[in-house]
């Protein structure tokens, strides 16, 4: 399918051939008929992308700060990889569209194939086909006007601003900024029986508003504008002001104070600064300033938008989806008419001209639609990136990726050696643009949006799974059942049921073939055990038992992050503490037999500030102190090991100090090395040379079981025995 994209690196705009997006549970697959270019938002995005690196940095100071933080903690190589991942990626444009449903995901009951629908959000982009979460889609009437329905997102944004103003029939509201959202706001206000005043700096757009969306309209520089607005309101002032402008100037917010009545409401919907002058208006009039958040309640809530969990209407009357539905109903019943807003319509193949027009301001415009050919055949198939690639020899490791996010692009893909016997065959991600970006950047033969293109490909004999945690167990099982070698980023899975199934299939698939090679190798991304300094640390202790401590200054992760979600990320114990349990298994060369955990109380029940006490089969003991509540200036990780009259300290995988016979020995790494490169190489070599898997299966199993037992210990307040399924 075709998708309209740009590259942040240089602002280049392209129509790309990309795989159809992956249809996950709770999602709707829609073939677009029209999508709307949001002139304000998208022109700003394109303008920023076309600037040089210094210009980009000035536009995004917060991201520059993040880059500096990565540079300090991970060094120049990882920083470069992180920056180039962003700059080299194809970014989809657009977030409002309308089309026909061509498929629905599991759990979706309100849509059927053939329904018409309007969509919002980042996945509702300028593409022939989009996959959108169900709470960001609304069903349309069979005879709905698809052109007008494509204004779905902006209509919901405007409607939420009107709701925040909370005005009554017969009251007066001023709209400052008469672009698309300002025009829609005016139409909605008038449909509600609100007297509407429009203000803008552009005389042409003021004339448009005067004809369609405002009872009274002014150019901002009109003489005596404040008094004329006060006179129109019979000396009272505006009951509400909605600011839909986008500017760095303080004029809109201060002007809103001047034209408001006492105890009036100012709603900030557009991108304007809010550092208003306290005197003479905001303080003396006791004005109320409200922010309007995008489409309405539910926005930025992963449970609502990604999981489809609705808010009860009795308690949250107007969610973002219900705002969209209300807007579409107003369109369908002709209570508002937005036909005049569409000044230009471009076919998809000519859509670049629309952006050139916006950048050059070569002619007046308001609503710009992209029209799609909704009747040509579109197939779900992989997209060949390297035409004519030859088949690889049976002795090669031919790799397919399922998922390829930030971690994979920073730590896995760059460490796959460029050799004749190692081939990057195909990559599948949920987004067509990301799959194409990764395929081009890392020289894959093809990209795909369907896991079957990886799992069923006879040339691929090794699959690396780098998706979100909730799908790890499922994909590992599918890879093993397909008879392929599996490398999965940690954790192996999220629960004991999945682990039991994986153990069964791993036992079957690890049988040795006639030539002495293992049928399938299972590898989990516990990279720290492969770090050069970790190997030296282990070699310092030739006999046990050992006493070990591992302090982790983990850093905070927001409560609403998918990592903290028990269903998606499994929480930080399963998702990250597994690393440190595995490291102690590696050092002691022994399996854990019991765990006792204590956590600091927290309001959200995350239990992610904790101490784990582990006992091992050989008598070794270990304490993992996992603290996300510390200062980020402290290095992240410190390991201490004591045994056989020796002690050793490993500081953040940079410095190893060994104490023996009253002397100390330092070993330093030029850069932090946590073993990702060696980990990948050992996986590949195990396949090529027919070696046993780099991490023995019992160690993988007991690491997962130890995390599950940790959660059980926290619940019971007691030590828990660890046993394999």
pLDDT digits (tens, 9 = 90+) for 616-628: 999 999 999 999 9
What is residue 674's predicted lDDT score, i.e. its pLDDT?
A: 96
DSSP state at residue 186: H
Rg (CA), the chain: 29
What is residue 560's predicted lDDT score, i.e. its pLDDT?
A: 87
Instruction: Name the more confident of 517 and 588.
Output: 588
CATH number reported for the structural domain that contains residue 603 in this entry: 3.30.360.10
Q: Which of 259, 291, 323 is the last residue of a domain?
A: 291
Residues 108 and 219 in one domain: no
Provide, rounded to the nearest whole percent, the portion of the chain with pLDDT above 90. 82
Residues 654 and 708 in one domain: yes
Helix H or strand E encompassing 688 = helix 676-689
Question: Helix, strand, coil % (nearest 5) of the chain?
Answer: 35, 25, 40
pLDDT digits (tens, 9 = 90+) for 168-198: 999 999 999 999 999 999 999 999 999 999 9
What is residue 11's predicted lDDT score, i.e. its pLDDT?
A: 77
Provide, rounded to the nearest whole percent, the portion of the chain with pLDDT above 70. 92
Residues 442 and 547 in one domain: no
CATH number reported for the structural domain that contains residue 446 in this entry: 3.40.50.720
- Rounded Cα distance, 710 and 599, in Å: 10
| pLDDT > 90? residue 377 | no
What is residue 70's predicted lDDT score, i.e. its pLDDT?
A: 64
Residues 520 and 533 in one domain: no
DSSP state at residue 518: B
- Rounded Cα distance, 169 and 54, in Å: 50
Residues 556 and 627 in one domain: yes
What is residue 144's predicted lDDT score, i.e. its pLDDT?
A: 97
CATH number reported for the structural domain that contains residue 131 in this entry: 3.90.180.10
What is residue 511's predicted lDDT score, i.e. its pLDDT?
A: 56
pLDDT digits (tens, 9 = 90+) for 417-457: 999 999 999 999 989 999 999 999 999 999 999 999 999 99
What is residue 25's predicted lDDT score, i.e. its pLDDT?
A: 94
* pLDDT tier, 390 (very low <50, low <70, confident <90, very high otherwise): low
* pLDDT tier, 64 (very low <50, low <70, confident <90, very high otherwise): low
The candidate with the shortest Cα–Cα distance to 258, out of 215, 214, 184, 197, is 197
For residue 216, being part of any structural domain is answered with: yes
For residue 38, being part of any structural domain is answered with: yes
Residues 503 and 401 in one domain: yes
Q: Which residues pair with 344 in a beta bridge?
A: 368
Q: Are 120 and 154 in contact (CB under 8 A)?
A: no
What is each CA distance from 388 to 75, 384, 391, 421, 446, in whole angstroms?
38, 9, 9, 18, 11
Q: Which residues touch 554 (CB under 8 Å, ≥6 apart)? A: 572, 576, 608, 626, 627, 628, 630, 636
Q: Which of 490, 524, 558 is the last residue of a domain?
A: 524
pLDDT digits (tens, 9 = 90+) for 466-477: 999 999 999 999
Residues 669 and 536 in one domain: yes
Mean pLDDT, rounded, for 494-509: 90
Residues 534 and 609 in one domain: yes
For residue 296, being part of any structural domain is answered with: no
Host domain of residue 509 = 396-524
- Rounded Cα distance, 332 and 327, in Å: 9
What is residue 353's predicted lDDT score, i.e. its pLDDT?
A: 92
Mean pLDDT, rounded, for 131-144: 97
| pLDDT > 80? residue 60 | no
Mean pLDDT, rounded, for 331-351: 96
DSSP code string of 599-668? E---TT----SEEEEEEETTS-EEEEEEESSS-TTS-SEEEEEEETTEEEEEETTTEEEEEETTEEEEEE
Mean pLDDT, rounded, for 493-513: 84
What is residue 49's predicted lDDT score, i.e. its pLDDT?
A: 62
What is residue 375's predicted lDDT score, i.e. its pLDDT?
A: 84
The candidate with the shortest Cα–Cα distance to 431, out of 664, 15, 122, 222, is 122
For residue 248, being part of any structural domain is answered with: yes
* pLDDT tier, 493 (very low <50, low <70, confident <90, very high otherwise): very high
pLDDT digits (tens, 9 = 90+) for 521-580: 999 999 999 999 999 999 999 888 999 999 999 999 999 899 999 999 999 999 999 999
Residues 579 and 713 in one domain: yes
C-alpha 407: how far from chain center: 13
Indicate the average pLDDT of the chain: 92
Whole-model pTM over 0.85: yes
- Rounded Cα distance, 94 and 49, in Å: 15
- Rounded Cα distance, 536 and 432, in Å: 43
Within a 10 A sphere around the Cβ of 312, how many other Cβ atoms? 8
What is residue 65's predicted lDDT score, i.e. its pLDDT?
A: 66
pLDDT digits (tens, 9 = 90+) for 243-264: 999 999 999 999 999 999 999 9
* pLDDT tier, 8 (very low <50, low <70, confident <90, very high otherwise): confident
The candidate with the shortest Cα–Cα distance to 351, out of 334, 368, 365, is 368
The domain tally of the chain equals 4
- What is residue 109's three-state secondary structure? coil
| pLDDT > 70? residue 58 | no
- What is residue 111's three-state secondary structure? coil
For residue 632, being part of any structural domain is answered with: yes
Please name the residue ranges forming H helices in 166-301.
180-191, 203-212, 225-232, 251-259
Residues 477 and 537 in one domain: no
What is residue 387's predicted lDDT score, i.e. its pLDDT?
A: 72
- Rounded Cα distance, 48 and 515, in Å: 58
Residues 346 and 411 in one domain: no
Please work out, in degrees rounded to the nearest 5, the angle formed at the alpha carbon of residue 639 by the alpha carbons of 636 and 640: 145
| pLDDT > 80? residue 61 | no
DSSP code string of 338-401? -GGGEEEEEEGGGTHHHHHHHHHT-S--SEEEEE--SSS------EESSTTPPPPPTTSEEEEE
| pLDDT > 60? residue 517 | no
For residue 263, being part of any structural domain is answered with: yes
Q: Are 571 and 564 in contact (CB under 8 A)?
A: yes
For residue 381, being part of any structural domain is answered with: no
Phi/psi at 622 (5° precision): -150, 145
For residue 365, being part of any structural domain is answered with: yes
| pLDDT > 70? residue 56 | no
- Rounded Cα distance, 164 and 178, in Å: 18
Q: Which of 265, 291, 317 is the last residue of a domain?
A: 291
Residues 362 and 435 in one domain: no
* pLDDT tier, 332 (very low <50, low <70, confident <90, very high otherwise): very high
């Amino acid at each position: 399918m075709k998708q309209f994209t740009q590259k942040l690196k240089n602002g280049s705009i392209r129509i790309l051939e990309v795989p159809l997006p992956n249809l996950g549970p709770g999602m709707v697959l829609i073939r677009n008929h029209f999508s709307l270019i949001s002139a304000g938002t998208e022109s700003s995005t394109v303008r920023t992308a076309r600037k040089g690196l210094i210009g980009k940095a000035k536009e995004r100071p917060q991201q520059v700060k993040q880059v500096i933080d990565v540079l300090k903690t991970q060094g120049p190589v990882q920083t470069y990889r992180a920056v180039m991942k962003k700059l080299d990626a194809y970014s989809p444009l657009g977030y409002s569209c309308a089309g026909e449903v061509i498929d629905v995901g599991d759990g979706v009951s309100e849509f059927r194939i053939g329904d018409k629908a309007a969509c919002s959000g980042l996945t509702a982009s300028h593409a022939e086909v989009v996959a959108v979460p169900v709470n960001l889609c609304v069903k349309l009437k069979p005879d709905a006007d698809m052109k007008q329905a494509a204004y779905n997102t902006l209509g919901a944004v405007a409607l939420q601003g009107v709701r925040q103003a909370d005005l009554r029939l017969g009251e007066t509201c001023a709209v400052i900024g008469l672009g698309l959202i300002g025009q829609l706001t005016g139409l909605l206000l008038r449909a509600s029986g609100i007297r509407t005043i429009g203000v803008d700096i552009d005389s042409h757009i003021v004339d448009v508003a005067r004809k369609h969306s405002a009872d009274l309209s002014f150019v901002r520089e009109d003489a005596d504008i404040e008094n004329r607005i006060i006179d129109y309101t019979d000396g009272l002032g505006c009951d509400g002001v909605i600011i839909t402008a986008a500017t760095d100037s303080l004029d809109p917010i201060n002007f809103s104070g001047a034209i408001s009545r006492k105890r009036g409401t100012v709603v900030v919907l557009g991108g304007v600064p809010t550092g208003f002058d306290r005197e003479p208006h905001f303080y003396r009039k006791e004005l109320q300033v409200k922010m309007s958040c995008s489409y309405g309640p539910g926005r930025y809530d992963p449970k609502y938008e990604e999981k489809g969990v609705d808010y009860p209407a009795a308690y949250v009357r107007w969610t973002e989806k219900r705002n969209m539905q209300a807007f579409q109903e107003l369109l369908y019943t002709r209570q508002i008419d937005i036909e005049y807003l569409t000044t230009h319509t471009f076919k998809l193949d000519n859509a670049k001209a629309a952006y050139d027009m916006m950048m050059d301001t070569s002619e007046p415009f308001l609503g710009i639609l992209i029209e799609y050919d909704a009747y040509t055949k579109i197939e779900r198939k992989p997209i060949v990136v390297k035409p004519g690639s030859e088949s690889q020899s049976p002795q090669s490791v031919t790799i397919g990726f399922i998922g390829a996010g930030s971690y994979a692009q920073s730590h896995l893909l760059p460490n796959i050696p460029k050799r004749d016997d190692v081939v990057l065959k195909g990559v599948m991600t949920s987004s067509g643009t990301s799959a194409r970006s990764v395929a081009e950047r890392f020289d894959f033969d093809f990209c795909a949006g369907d896991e079957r293109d990886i799992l069923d490909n006879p040339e691929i004999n090794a699959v690396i799974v780098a998706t979100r945690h909730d799908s790890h167990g499922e994909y590992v099982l599918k890879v093993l059942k397909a008879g392929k070698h599996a490398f999965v980023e940690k954790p192996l899975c999220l629960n004991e049921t999945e682990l039991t199934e994986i153990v069964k299939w791993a036992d079957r698939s690890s049988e040795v073939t006639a030539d002495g090679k293992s049928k399938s190798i299972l590898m989990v991304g516990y990279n720290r055990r492969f770090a050069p300094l970790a190997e030296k640390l282990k070699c310092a202790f030739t006999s046990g038992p050992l006493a070990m401590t591992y302090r982790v200054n983990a850093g905070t992760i927001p409560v609403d992050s998918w990592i903290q979600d028990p269903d998606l990320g499994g929480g930080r114990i399963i998702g990250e503490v597994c690393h440190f349990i595995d490291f102690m298994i590696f050092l002691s060369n022994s399996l854990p037999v019991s765990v006792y955990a204590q956590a600091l109380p927290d309001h959200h029940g995350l239990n992610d500030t904790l101490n784990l006490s582990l006992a091992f089969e050989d008598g070794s003991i270990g304490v993992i102190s996992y603290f996300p509540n510390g200062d980020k200036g402290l290095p992240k990780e410190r390991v201490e090991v004591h045994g056989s009259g020796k002690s050793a300290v490993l500081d953040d995988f940079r410095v190893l100090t060994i104490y023996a016979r009253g002397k100390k020995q330092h070993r330093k790494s030029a850069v932090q090395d946590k073993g990702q490169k060696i980990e990948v190489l050992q996986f590949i070599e195990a396949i090529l040379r027919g070696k046993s898997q780099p991490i023995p299966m019992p160690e993988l199993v007991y690491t997962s079981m130890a995390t599950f037992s940790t959660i059980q210990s926290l619940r019971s307040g007691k030590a828990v025995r660890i046993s394999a399924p």
